[in-house]
A = this chain, B = another copy of it.
Amino acid sequence: MARNKYPEETVKRILDVAEELFMTKGYEQTTMADIVNHLGGLTKGAVYHHFKSKEDIFEAVFERANRSVVERAEAIISNRSLSGIEKIRALDESSAEGPSADMLRAMRPSSDPVQNSRLLAREFADALEVAHRYIEPVIREGVADGTVSSEFPRETAEVMLLLANLWMVPLFHPLADESEFERRVSVLVRVMHALGVDLVDWKSFDPARMWDDSWGTLARDFIADDGGEDDRS
């Protein structure tokens, strides 16, 4: 096959196949050989021509899945009719939705962080990047328009993203039961309140109602998929 004639097509096929394999077999269990084998007709050389390693393919798959989340975030950021705190809440809600969340859900990586260290590291790096690129400037806007009272915008943004993405969500941190998720939500809301950012309406906040928002939905899917396995420790 003339691999250089339609390089975008080739890249797309590689990413489609790899994404499918990551989501069915799991990222750690998928090898470069698996990916090549499922690309019927494409040679190993052709795949390596575009991607040096499985890690590189994963980055590209993840980035592609994340593109619509990034676009939504940009739209929220530039929406002049929203106050700082409204933007933070909209970004928070939006980040638990979309194809990258669906992908993680489907990839169902083992919740053992060491088994899935690559994915954990990617989530860690992404959390800090999103914190710096979107949340920190929006916290500063909120301070300017009086809807946020943060003394430490950068650090507050980092804590929010790390706790929301790496701790509250049961991806690497299984939930024993629904009440544990409600406790995590309560703690995150309290932490952010102490740092001057009210993620929810503080007075009417009810953690049980968080199950209906996008984070609750994501958490519920992970619990449901766990099939009763409880390997917290």
Q: Which residues of A contact B (CB under 8 A)?
A: 55, 112-114, 116-118, 120-122, 124-125, 128-129, 132, 151-152, 154-156, 158-159, 162-163, 166-167, 172-173, 180, 183-184, 186-187, 190-191, 193-195, 232-233
Contact = CB atoms under 8 A, between A and B. Distances in A.
A210 to B, nearest CB: 14
A232 B158 CA distance: 12
18 contacts: A114-B125, A117-B118, A117-B120, A117-B121, A120-B120, A120-B124, A128-B173, A128-B233, A129-B233, A132-B233, A151-B186, A152-B186, A154-B183, A155-B187, A159-B187, A162-B162, A162-B163, A162-B167
B132 A121 contact: no
What are the nearest 5 A-B pairs in CB distance? A194-B194, A117-B121, A117-B117, A113-B121, A155-B187
A155 B132 contact: no
A167 B159 contact: yes
Contacts of A190: 194-195
Contacts of A112: 125
Among A118, A159, A166, A195, the one with the most B-chain Cβ atoms within 10 Å of its Cβ is A159
A121 B114 contact: yes
Contact of A159 (B163, B180, B193): B163
Contacts of A233: 128-129, 132
Contacts of A183: 152, 154-155
A71 B156 CA distance: 34
Contacts of A167: 158-159, 162
A213 to B, nearest CB: 19
A57 to B, nearest CB: 14
Nearest to A168: B155
A194 to B, nearest CB: 3
